[in-house]
Chains A and B, each alone.
Chain A
Amino acid sequence: KNEVEQSPQNLTAQEGEFITINCSYSVGISALHWLQQHPGGGIVSLFMLSSGKKKHGRLIATINIQEKHSSLHITASHPRDSAVYICAVGRGIQGAQKLVFGQGTRLTINP
């Protein structure tokens, strides 16, 4: 079983829909990251969470440390949100912050 599990693996929705991507992990972590990967391959860091909730524009990320679960929400989805969204957990306490990655969720938003 992977240490980081994402669901769903693939998600197709219509423009304007509310999107939720889930991430569950089985190890102790120092932080959880949500990342976005576009078809060209480059990765952009969206959020880093160690507790609670963060919001940036139409994106919201939450984490429940006790349940070892995080969600990424997209409100008023748009075709430009189409990408692979990756959850990763940080394992380091100090120094290098090694990440363990989920397999990603491929999101497609149709106009």
Chain B
Amino acid sequence: SQQGEEDPQALSIQEGENATMNCSYKTSINNLQWYRQNSGRGLVHLILIRSNEREKHSGRLRVTLDTSKKSSSLLITASRAADTASYFCATDAAGGSYIPTFGRGTSLIVHP
């Protein structure tokens, strides 16, 4: 299966600290996306990184992609209580339909 696997499953940090989540996948991809989900706002797209890119930034988010290791990381800097949510990576397989396949997610809790 192309499903990505996030690590760790759960992460608990203090406000102001950085949070790093990792995603590993099995086969070549076109794109890798990170989503955030909390109970109030549903699933929200954060950032997309293409297979020929190595790093992307968006505000306090930094995503890296290592296609040789089939892995990606999401770094949230200077975390806030509002960052408390589940974070999912989603991949679409090279040569496939570009429909993302989601992992099980990382549950992040940021304590004020």
A and B are interacting partners: no
**Residues on A facing B (Cβ under 8 Å):** none
**Residues on B facing A (Cβ under 8 Å):** none
